[in-house]
Amino acid sequence: MPAEQFGAVEGEWRRSRSCVGEGHCVELSVIDRGTQVRMRNSTTPETVLVFDANEWRFFLDAVKADEL
């Protein structure tokens, strides 16, 4: 997933538009020329999950299918 398709500059952390204030927000960042996606909680930014492109697609498909 190229960073441009994600709507981000590579390495930049992004939040959902529905996230307001400094609440518990999920933040995403595309790195390594779009081959990896990082995910973290805004209240604990030191803990980061890293997905490769296939893992990210699998994760999104599972969320969409309400399997998680």
Express each pLDDT in 7-55 by its tens digit: 556 678 888 888 877 678 889 998 887 789 999 998 888 999 999 989 9
The one-letter code for the residue type at 25 is C
Can you tell me the distance from the alpha carbon of 25 to that of 43, in angstroms, rounded to the nearest whole number? 7
* Amino acid (1-letter code) at residue 65: A
pLDDT score at 6? 52
Exposed e or buried b for every residue in 13-48, given b needs 16+ CB within 10 A? ebeeeeeeeeeebebbbbeeebebbbbbeeeeeeee
Q: Report the C-alpha gap between 6 and 3 in whole angstroms.
A: 5
What is the per-residue pLDDT for 14?
87
